[in-house]
């Protein structure tokens, strides 16, 4: 890599970062200004992803390219000062709740050079119910989202107020949406401004040339990374829990990964899967491709830039009208970024782990648990003003990896740990709720040589008003799977606690209403373990016990580590115990716990 | 202190100083603002006059303890070896050298000192080496995992070899207190004192040495934290406690808890250190004010620092940009500079942008997301392990590395002859002829070339290189490492180095400073006159600072400008009290308010003209200033929207003053030779001109290759470089 390429790559990353920073700092909803459920990137005029610093994988790996293409198809003559609002699942976007602003960057001669892209998950998009996760919606009409297929939002840097008026009449808490819309426009305009400044300094042709070199360089890195894997073909399945609109046994997603090491190529086939479902679980073209890509890029054991160059070594096979493929209008894709997308990513990374020791990952936790519910109601502290937001109160879905324990605060495959966790104080200040407790659950980690994250929990309820909470919690039945002998991660669960303290389980997909004095106890999934727990260093197991991640009983029963005095490893007994647990009576590859 | 150890007299002295014995050449005319003219070169009046007051600044680094004295507008620099076991020994050794230089005994010298400014990395080093107190964390029941979960977030999400960070205080030492305060400060659940006393017993059993207390919403109602403080004082007397609402009353429980626990964990160590320093200085005759440098580049009293040691956490590195700001303004008329401070152990990079030192409001101890958040703003400084003491070594694959390990002050580089056998950067500079074995630190330390060569020989043999070529390769790697650190904060922040100057400070800056400036494409590399102690100079120039804040919510569409005026009057009163107590002749007071649009959670700062003749706050112009600031920062504004004003702040800076134009006075080392034999890339051994730092010509400049030398630093000007001395005494090198 030449010095100039490094500098320009950094400069472009800086621009994407600055865009994201702008969006994060100026957004009005907690999703943006607290959880950082947002992404910013730069796309070439040929609709290739160039730079995606610190962006959510499910938002940017595939999608920005398709959206840029649709923008140009619908608006062949792009002009400086244009901006387009795009959230259509049928035209390259993720779920409709991810509003995106695309701004074409036009040089002084009127030539379209790049497109800057800013996307953020909205708390509300005008759905029929107060949630952006409409799992039970039969179709897009039942879902109720306003759909904007690359609709012009600004001309000559001024808002086209028609769209703003429409949204204000249809989206809950319109001032919040308006603020978020402005934050998106601001982020994109910052990106445009910085790119123009960079081009003024180095020239558009240099940037164009840099893009080509950067793609070639990234392709070489990708090729080298794939060549380190063994060749082979593996099919893995991962099952989603039963939800409204699924068969009673849930939905099993099959993923076939094929590595051709000699050629330095990898392919993922998602075609052998069910047709679109009559609910909100269908995964868009962008999300299905991104999920498979996430599984690949997380599994390589080397960090390779994600862009159109490295993508030349990847082939994703999709099918029209498939629930993890290319859904046709009016199939609802309300849960496109989360539920079945997690299955695709998980099956991809476990397939690679199965194929190649030391690569891949165990399964991540799956979502959307009640700790991440969309909450809404009226706030008695501010004259009963309406509020709506998606909480990020607890998520611990990190999978065990070949050389390290899980990254604890991972939401799922779609964020890989990038999203932030809510501050309890900030949530209580902004919404009339109280968070009674939050933490990790002992003995729920995905056991393994490298452990998956333990399940987490939080409990919250309204203060002085009624609270509505909507979620779509997978993982209540099907746990995140361990791999290469690793155990499964803890399952999710959700309960309503009444005023007397009694707990009642509530359905995983839908909404609940809480009155003052009632709370919601939300448990989120952990992550699967990687490798045989009997191979975990005994000292690490002892530390896990001392720190309360696991009990002494689990240390002995699952990890074969015997402790004396609660914390000191009894080497002799541990050796014996591990020998006994590892004896042939235990089926090979099965989790020990 | 080594000199008093058995046999210590036979060894090299562990302190290095200089005495004023001769003249200085090329003194510029004093500027109009110079406080006290510099005495002519042959005038013994340069010695300290019994009537004048002295100010001292002292920075304890990993290798050297730097002391700068200021008197009558004249600065002098002294260096002693850092004494890690008891750093106060090194401080006092430096003081003795300075006293000797002034022709006074230590007591008489210290009696003249009115201000002693101190900076140390002791706190941060203790954290990095896990040497802090055994600390317990007390928090609201149900919220044990505040320090474990943090605020989420991650860098490099595809790198799954990253280790999720351990909590600053382990879960095993975290205790949940039955109590709860609500968002409005209401008591939801009273503090269960009986249960708390049982927790106290557990704390005693666990033998904790410090306690951090952070309860939810203590910032809205501190009653429970205060009561816990009382109970702990009663039941566990002598165990230091930090209460979060007192230390850092900010919203967001993780960052407040993190600040609280870091602070508590440092209290035993830093309290003992600062008390020891103060009492030993007083015993030695010091009767002035002892001040500590803060992470934000100001100074506070040592008592305040002992009460809240987290404020002085990163005190050394925070000073270099303060000095850099002055150098950039004076010598480059530039608002943008990169400041690179190369000590013996670490290399610290900071920036000046638009004439200001950029602050980071989210300071991480260690890397973002894997370190610990300090909860306080600080000067933005990036540090790596690279310096004169960095060890040159090969890895298992035979690849050459430099650092991050350092030979430190003990044993030091191999050429010091104090038992060190690992080759260091200093050894390489000696091998290459950049350093003069007989004239290192003014000739006080004789360097041993043979030991240096012997230490590097195994590396050279493995690489199949001559020793000189291996030394060149090591310096090249050092340069690479330093460039990487600089790019971390420049290129990645979108700063174009070609529009900046590089200010190279620190004793080891001269080996490759010009090479770094060239590789970055900087307009020039500047070596300030006192650059060998850049951060100590910064300490000398820094202001006594005070800040205060009031959280008071005012919305522009339901505005009460009377309330705003009342808040500002209160802030003004507290700033005035501070300034009066400081006794400073010059001061500066700034007011600002943090504001946002409704539902935003991050504020931006809008400065407030205050006090004004009307005695009232002009909210309308504040609102338009906010819209304008939002537009400029974020490309959009929402003029139809109301604005929320949240936190009202004052910052007062009392200028210790008068030293902005002060000049360094250096002794001439030994009579300068005209030439030095240096091993250069491509040309090998070459005779090059040698200049004394104070005798570098201005016009025409000196052409490289050349070596510039003073008692404290040696600068290699490579071929093609043009070096000249600026009126301020700074050496400027252009390529």
Q: What digits encode the pLDDT tens for the residues A413-454?
A: 999 999 999 999 999 999 999 999 999 999 999 999 999 999
pLDDT in tens, B210-265: 999 999 999 999 999 999 999 999 999 999 999 999 998 888 999 999 999 999 99
Q: What is the mean pLDDT of residues B81-90?
A: 90
pLDDT at B90 (0 to 100) = 94
pLDDT in tens, A352-369: 999 999 999 999 999 999
* Closest among A335, A295, A285 to A135, alpha carbons compared: A335
Contact A186 B252 (CB under 8 A): no
d(CA A240, CA A224): 34
pLDDT at A70 (0 to 100) = 98
Residue with token string 């607290």: A34
Q: Is A424 an interface residue toward B (CB < 8 Å)?
A: yes
Secondary structure element (H or E) that encloses residue A387, with its range = strand A385-390
Radius of gyration of chain A from Cα atoms?
24
pLDDT in tens, A448-468: 999 999 999 999 999 999 999
Q: Please report residues of A whose CB lies closer than 8 A to that of B594.
A: none
Q: Please report residues of A whose CB lies closer than 8 A to that of B151.
A: 420-421, 423
Contact A440 B148 (CB under 8 A): yes
Q: State the nearest Cα–Cα gap between A459 and chain B, in angstroms.
A: 9
Q: Is A429 an interface residue toward B (CB < 8 Å)?
A: yes
**Which chain A residue has its CA at the smallest distance from B604's CA?**
A25
Q: Which of B137, B160, B257, B602 to mutate to test the interface with A (most CBs of A within 10 A)?
A: B160
- Closest partner residue to A406 among B153, B164, B602, by Cβ? B164
Q: What is the mean pLDDT of residues B691-714?
A: 89
Tokens at A316, concatenated: 């994703």
Q: What is the mean pLDDT of residues B109-135?
A: 89
Is the per-residue pLDDT at A350 higher than 60? yes
Tokens at B124, concatenated: 């941060």
pLDDT at B381 (0 to 100) = 85
d(CA A179, CA A186): 10
pLDDT at A6 (0 to 100) = 72
Tokens at A122, concatenated: 């909205």
Count of H helices and E strands in chain B?
Answer: 17, 36
Please list the residues that pair with B445 across neighbouring strands: B440
CB A174 within 8 A of CB A158: no
Pairing of strands B113-120, B289-293: parallel
Q: State the nearest Cα–Cα gap between A406 and chain B, in angstroms.
A: 7
Q: State the nearest Cα–Cα gap between B548 and chain A, in angstroms.
A: 23
Q: What is the mean pLDDT of residues B277-300?
A: 92
Contact A425 B491 (CB under 8 A): no
pLDDT at A265 (0 to 100) = 98
Tokens at B255, concatenated: 């960052």
The answer for B7, left when phi > 0, alpha when psi is -120 to 50, beta otherwise, is: left
Global ipTM: 0.96
CB A360 within 8 A of CB A308: no
DSSP A94: S
DSSP string, A42-86: EEETTS-EEE-TT--HHHHSSSHHHHHHHHHHH-SS--TT-EEEE
Is the per-residue pLDDT at B6 higher than 70? no
Residue B572: Cβ within 10 Å count: 17
d(CA A277, CA B152): 34
Q: Where are the alpha helices (DSSP H) in A107-156?
A: 140-143
Contact A201 B155 (CB under 8 A): no
* Closest among A56, A113, A52, A50 to A80, alpha carbons compared: A113
Tokens at A239, concatenated: 């099952």
| CB burial of residue B524 (10 Å; 0-12, 13-18, 19+) | buried
pLDDT at B492 (0 to 100) = 56
pLDDT at B307 (0 to 100) = 94
Tokens at B476, concatenated: 């090249």
d(CA A397, CA A410): 5
Q: Please report residues of A whose CB lies closer than 8 A to that of B162.
A: 404, 407
CA dihedral B475→B481→B483→B484, nearest 10 degrees, is: 170
B342 φ, ψ (degrees, to nearest 5): -105, 105
The number of residues in chain A equals 593
Q: For residue B5, name the pLDDT band (cuts at 50, 70, 90).
A: very low
pLDDT at B155 (0 to 100) = 87
- Closest partner residue to A186 among B491, B602, B634, by Cβ? B634
Task: Choose the weakest-confidence range: B30-44, B129-143, B547-561.
Answer: B30-44
Q: Is A439 an interface residue toward B (CB < 8 Å)?
A: yes
pLDDT at A592 (0 to 100) = 43
**Which chain B residue has its CA at the smallest distance from A8's CA?**
B491
pLDDT in tens, B646-679: 889 898 888 876 666 677 776 655 555 688 999 9
Top mean pLDDT of B27-31, B269-273, B376-380, B554-558 is at B269-273
Is the per-residue pLDDT at A2 higher than 80? no
**Which chain B residue has its CA at the smallest distance from A408's CA?**
B164
- Taking only residues 445 to 504 of chain B, the set having a beta carbon closer than 8 angstroms to any beta carbon of chain A reads 487, 491-494, 496
Q: Is A463 an interface residue toward B (CB < 8 Å)?
A: yes
Task: Choose the weakest-confidence range: A369-373, B315-319, B577-581.
Answer: B315-319
Q: Is B21 an interface residue toward A (CB < 8 Å)?
A: no
Mean pLDDT of chain A: 95
* Closest among B257, B266, B225 to B373, alpha carbons compared: B257
On the CB side of B104, CA atoms within 13 Å amount to 19
Query: Who contacts B368 (Cβ-Cβ below 8 Å, separation ≥6)?
Result: B153, B155, B362
The pTM of this model reads: 0.89
Q: Is A33 an interface residue toward B (CB < 8 Å)?
A: yes
Q: State the nearest Cα–Cα gap between B154 and chain A, in angstroms.
A: 5
DSSP string, A509-522: EEEEEE-TT-EEEE
Please list the residues that pair with A347 across neighbouring strands: none
Q: Is the peptide bond before B611 cis (omega within 30 degrees of 0)?
A: yes
């Amino acid at each position: 890599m030449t010095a100039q390429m490094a500098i320009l790559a950094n400069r472009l990353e800086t621009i994407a970062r600055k865009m994201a920073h702008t969006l994060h700092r100026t957004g009005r909803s907690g999703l943006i200004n607290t959880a950082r459920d947002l992404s910013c990137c730069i796309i070439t005029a040929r609709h290739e992803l160039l730079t995606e610093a610190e962006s959510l994988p499910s938002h940017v790996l595939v999608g920005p390219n398709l959206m840029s293409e649709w923008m140009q198809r619908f608006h062949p003559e792009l002009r400086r000062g244009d901006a387009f609002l795009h959230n259509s699942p049928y035209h390259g976007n993720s779920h409709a709740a991810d509003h995106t602003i695309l701004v074409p960057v036009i040089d002084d001669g009127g030539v379209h050079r790049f497109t800057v892209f800013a996307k953020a998950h909205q708390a509300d998009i005008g759905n029929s119910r107060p949630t952006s996760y409409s799992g039970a919606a039969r179709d897009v009409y039942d879902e109720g989202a306003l759909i904007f297929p690359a609709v012009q939002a600004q001309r000559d840097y001024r808002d086209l107020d028609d769209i703003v008026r429409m949204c204000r009449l249809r989206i809950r808490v319109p001032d919040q949406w308006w603020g978020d819309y402005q934050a998106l426009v601001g982020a994109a305009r910052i990106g445009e401004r910085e790119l123009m400044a960079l081009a003024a300094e180095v020239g558009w042709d240099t940037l164009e040339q840099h893009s080509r070199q950067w793609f070639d360089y990234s392709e070489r890195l990708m090729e080298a990374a794939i060549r380190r894997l063994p060749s082979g073909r593996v099919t893995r399945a991962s099952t989603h829990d039963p939800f409204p609109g699924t068969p009673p046994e849930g939905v099993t997603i099959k993923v076939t990964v094929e590595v051709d090491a000699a050629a330095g190529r990898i392919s993922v086939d998602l075609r052998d899967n069910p047709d679109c479902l009559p609910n909100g679980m269908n995964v868009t073209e962008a999300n299905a491709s991104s999920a498979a890509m996430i599984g690949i890029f997380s599994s390589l054991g080397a960090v390779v830039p994600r862009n159109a160059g490295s993508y030349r070594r990847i082939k994703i096979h999709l099918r029209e009208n498939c629930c993890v493929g290319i859904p046709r209008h009016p199939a609802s894709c309300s849960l496109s970024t989360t539920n079945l997308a997690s299955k695709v990513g998980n099956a991809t990374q476990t397939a690679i782990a199965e194929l190649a020791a030391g690569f891949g990952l165990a399964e991540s936790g799956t979502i959307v648990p009640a700790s991440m519910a969309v909450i809404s109601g009226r706030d008695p502290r501010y004259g009963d003003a309406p509020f709506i937001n998606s909480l990020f109160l607890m998520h611990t879905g990190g999978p065990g990896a070949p050389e390290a324990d899980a990254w604890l605060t991972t939401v799922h495959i779609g964020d890989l740990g990038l999203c932030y966790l809510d501050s309890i104080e900030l949530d209580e200040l902004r919404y009339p709720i109280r968070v009674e407790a939050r933490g990790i659950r002992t003995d729920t980690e995905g056991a393994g040589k490298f452990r998956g994250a333990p399940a987490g929990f939080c409990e919250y309820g309204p203060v002085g008003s009624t609270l509505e909470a909507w979620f779509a919690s997978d993982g209540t039945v099907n746990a995140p799977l361990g791999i290469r002998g690793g155990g499964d991660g803890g399952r999710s669960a959700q309960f309503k606690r009444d005023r007397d303290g009694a707990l009642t389980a509530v359905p995983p997909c839908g909404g609940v209403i809480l009155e003052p004095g009632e709370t919601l106890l939300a448990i989120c999934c952990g992550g699967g373990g990687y490798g045989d727990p009997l191979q975990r260093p005994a000292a690490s197991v002892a530390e896990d016990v001392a720190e309360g991640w696991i009990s002494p009983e689990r240390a002995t029963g699952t990890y074969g580590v015997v402790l004396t005095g609660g914390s000191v490893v009894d080497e002799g007994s541990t050796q014996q115990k591990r020998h006994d647990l590892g004896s042939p009576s235990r089926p090979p590859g099965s989790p020990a716990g | 202190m080594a000199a008093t150890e058995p046999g210590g007299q036979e060894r090299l002295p562990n302190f290095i100083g200089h005495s004023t014995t001769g003249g200085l050449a090329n003194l510029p005319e004093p500027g109009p603002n110079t406080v006290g003219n510099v005495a002519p070169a042959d005038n013994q009046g340069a010695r300290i006059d019994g009537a004048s007051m002295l100010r001292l600044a002292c920075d304890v680094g990993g290798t050297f303890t730097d002391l700068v004295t200021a008197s009558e507008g004249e600065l002098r620099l002294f260096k002693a070896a850092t004494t890690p076991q008891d750093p106060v020994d090194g401080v006092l050794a430096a003081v003795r050298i300075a006293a000797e230089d002034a022709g006074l005994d230590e007591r008489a010298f210290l009696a003249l000192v009115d201000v002693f400014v101190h900076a140390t990395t002791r706190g941060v080093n203790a954290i990095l080496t896990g040497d802090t107190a055994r600390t317990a964390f007390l928090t609201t029941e149900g919220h044990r995992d505040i320090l474990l979960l943090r605020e989420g977030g991650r860098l490099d999400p595809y790198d799954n070899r990253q280790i999720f960070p351990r909590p600053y205080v382990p879960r095993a030492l975290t205790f949940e207190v039955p109590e709860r305060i609500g968002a409005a400060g209401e008591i939801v659940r009273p503090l269960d004192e009986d249960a708390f006393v049982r927790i106290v017993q557990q704390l005693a059993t666990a033998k904790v040495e410090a306690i951090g207390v952070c309860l939810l919403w203590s910032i809205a109602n501190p009653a429970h934290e205060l009561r816990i403080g009382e109970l702990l004082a009663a039941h566990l007397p002598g165990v230091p406690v930090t209460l979060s609402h007192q230390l850092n009353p900010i919203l967001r429980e993780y960052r407040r808890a993190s600040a609280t626990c870091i602070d508590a964990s440092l209290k035993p160590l830093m309290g003992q250190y600062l008390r020891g320093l103060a009492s030993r200085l007083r015993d030695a005759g010091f009767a002035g004010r002892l001040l500590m440098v803060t992470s934000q580049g100001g100074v506070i009293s040592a008592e305040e620092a002992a009460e809240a040691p987290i404020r002085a956490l990163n005190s050394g590195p925070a000073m270099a940009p303060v000095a850099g700001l002055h150098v950039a303004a004076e010598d480059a008329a530039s608002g943008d500079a990169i400041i690179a401070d190369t000590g013996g152990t670490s290399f610290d990079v900071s920036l000046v942008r638009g004439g200001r030192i950029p602050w980071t409001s989210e300071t991480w101890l260690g890397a973002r997301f894997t370190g610990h958040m300090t909860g306080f703003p600080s000067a933005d400084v990036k540090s790596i392990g690279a310096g004169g003491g960095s060890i040159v070594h090969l890895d298992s694959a035979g690849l050459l590395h430099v650092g991050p390990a350092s030979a430190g002050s003990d044993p030091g580089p191999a050429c010091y002859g104090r038992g060190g056998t690992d080759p260091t950067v200093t050894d390489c500079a000696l091998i290459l002829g950049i350093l003069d074995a007989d004239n290192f630190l003014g000739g006080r330390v004789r360097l041993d070339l043979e030991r240096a060569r012997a230490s590097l020989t195994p590396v050279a043999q493995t690489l199949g290189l001559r020793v000189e070529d291996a030394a060149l390769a090591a310096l090249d790697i050092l340069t690479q490492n330093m460039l990487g650190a600089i790019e971390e904060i420049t290129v990645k922040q979108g700063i174009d180095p070609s529009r900046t100057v590089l200010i190279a400070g620190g004793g080891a800056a001269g080996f490759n400073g010009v090479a770094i400036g060239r590789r970055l494409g900087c307009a020039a590399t500047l070596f300030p006159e006192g650059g060998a102690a850049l951060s100590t100079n910064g300490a000398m120039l820094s202001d006594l600072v005070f800040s205060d804040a009031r959280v008071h919510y005012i919305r522009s569409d339901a505005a009460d400008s009377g309330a705003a005026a009342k808040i500002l009057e209160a802030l003004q009163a507290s700033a005035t009290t501070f300034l009066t107590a400081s006794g400073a002749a010059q001061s500066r007071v700034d007011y600002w308010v943090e504001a946002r649009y409704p539902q935003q959670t991050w504020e931006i700062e809008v400065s407030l003209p205050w006090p004004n003749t009307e005695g009232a706050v002009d909210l309308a112009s504040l609102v338009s200033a906010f819209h304008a600031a939002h537009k400029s920062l974020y490309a959009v504004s929402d003029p139809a929207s109301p604005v929320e004003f949240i936190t009202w702040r004052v910052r007062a800076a009392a200028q210790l003053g008068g030293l902005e134009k002060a000049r360094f006075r250096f002794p001439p080392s030994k009579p300068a030779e005209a030439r030095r034999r240096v091993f250069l890339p491509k040309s090998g051994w070459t005779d090059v001109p040698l200049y004394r730092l104070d005798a570098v010509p201005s016009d025409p400049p000196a052409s490289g290759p050349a070596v510039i030398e003073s008692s404290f630093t040696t600068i290699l000007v490579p071929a093609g470089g043009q070096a000249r001395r600026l009126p301020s005494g700074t050496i400027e090198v252009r390529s």
